[in-house]
Amino acid sequence: MGESRQAQDPDRRWSEEQLKRVQISIAQKRKELAKWLERKQLFKWARVEYGKAARLNPDDREDREKLGMVFEDGSWQAREGKGLPDENKAKPADLPDLWRAYWERLAALSKFAVKEMASLAKSCESRKLHEDARRCWGIVLDYDPDHADALSRLGYKRLDAAGPPLPPEARQFLTELTKGWKSAPAGEELSEETAAEKARSARHRKVRSDHFLVESSYVEMSELHVLTQLAENTFHAYHTFFGHSTPLVEDRITFLVLRGGDEYDRFVDWSYPDDEAKRKFLKGLWSFLYEGNRSVAMRYDVREHIRDQVVHRTAEALAVAQLGSWELPWIWETLAMVFARETVGAGTYCITMSGSTVAEAFKEPREWPKKLRGIVEEGKDDDFRDVMKSSLNDLRGPRGAKAWSVMDFLMKTRPQGMRILMSASRGDGTRDRGEAALGASMGWSCEELDEFWRRYVRQRY
């Protein structure tokens, strides 16, 4: 065994050296692109490319100086007022054409990176360095999501003829969401009085399962069983995907389905009698939490909406429990969107559907992919660093749609990284908004995620 390991060492050293060589060559292309952007007075975009180049080749002094860093006391440190300006100085009227030219150059850079990384991946395979080869093929997919050899080597397959190629973990996860709920536990009818019945002085039909209580005064018992199945399946799929053997939420989650209009509004008034502003806000939502974070009152509109809400709120509760707080809505809200959209297919219940500030073009989640491609091609989507810093109320319109799409992209293309991201994001409130976790889980900066996600949208949407 010792001789075998020693025999492998030269190959592994060779692999590391070759990977570094390829990274430096890509970094040089990044720098050339950054200099072109700088000449065009596109300083914000130039800083992005210098930053990517610096991550690939940390020894390059010029990249860091362009970013406003100085070398002091044995390390690089940021200095205000140094480096390139933070904003583009080109004429606003020229920006659309310059954005298209920028992406044409990014496309050429991507072809170069794909060629170099694919060649290295094949060389690693010939030396039986399979782990290193898989890493290189993964980088190939960052630059070209449709690269046939990379998709084949990494086991990507389509779930159906119209869908995109997916890795094995994502296929298993999506199959469980779309098909597993029909065989999930449906719960049993409950006769004893519940807290909501006492509060409303009303009698409900009720179904109780291991993890949920679903009740309503007018929804049919058969539909309550379906809602229970959807909730239990979401519970199981979440724990399976993220590798949790013990329940993240120990207490039962209650879903109370109310008629829209007066019945829903009266329950809002009962739940928050001393907070007029909150009552007004909640009456504009599809659902709200009451008596802590384990009870959800929902406004019944159409069947698909209420099913969507059950899946969404279940995934949301589990994600918040895993993260340990409500601090990162760009994670827990968008995870809930992914679960609901893939399970029910409606995707209509989310914060982007609430309030009067929603952009008209983004009121219908079914249209988000098409709308997102349009704003990506025009260079009008928000930078992910800003999305990451958003409060829940800021995740509206185009920003909310992008947040969902980024999570959808990560869940379907980087499932193993998503497990690490969720673990790395848990903290005590002193952490950043998830940037460090993104680097630890995916190996990307926010700017790299933006580029790879935008390329994914351009090729898949």
Q: For the segment 25-83, what is each residue's pLDDT rounded down to a tens digit? A: 999 999 999 999 999 999 999 999 999 999 999 999 999 999 999 888 888 888 887 89
Look up the pTM and report it.
0.90
Domain shared by 444 and 383, yes or no: yes
Domain shared by 368 and 446, yes or no: yes
Low-confidence ranges of the chain (pLDDT < 50): 1-7, 351-357, 430
Domain shared by 109 and 173, yes or no: no
Range of the domain at 11: 2-120
Per-residue pLDDT of 241-255, as tens digits, reads 999 999 999 999 999
Domain shared by 114 and 215, yes or no: no
pLDDT the model gives residue 431: 54
Cβ neighbour number for residue 294 with a 10 Å cutoff: 15
Q: Are 394 and 357 in contact (CB under 8 A)?
A: no
Domain shared by 230 and 359, yes or no: yes
Residue 23's Cβ-side half-sphere holds a number of Cα atoms within 13 Å equal to: 17
Domain shared by 428 and 291, yes or no: yes
Last residue of a domain, one of 60, 90, 120: 120
Domain shared by 56 and 184, yes or no: no
Backbone angles phi, psi at 307, to 5 degrees: -65, -40
Domain shared by 85 and 172, yes or no: no
pLDDT the model gives residue 77: 84
Strand pairing class (69-72; 75-78): antiparallel
Domain-embedded: residue 284:
yes
Domain-embedded: residue 150:
no
Last residue of a domain, one of 87, 120, 153: 120
pLDDT the model gives residue 294: 84
Domain-embedded: residue 142:
no
Domain shared by 231 and 353, yes or no: yes
Domain shared by 368 and 241, yes or no: yes
Domain-embedded: residue 237:
yes
Cβ neighbour number for residue 382 with a 10 Å cutoff: 17
First-to-last alpha carbon distance for the chain, in angstroms, is 49
| ∠ CA 14-17-23, rounded to 5° | 140
pLDDT the model gives residue 436: 86
Domain-embedded: residue 159:
no
Give the helix/strand (H/E) hosting 427: none
Domains identified in the chain, total number: 2
| ∠ CA 372-374-375, rounded to 5° | 70
Per-residue pLDDT of 288-315, as tens digits, reads 888 877 899 998 876 668 898 899 999 9
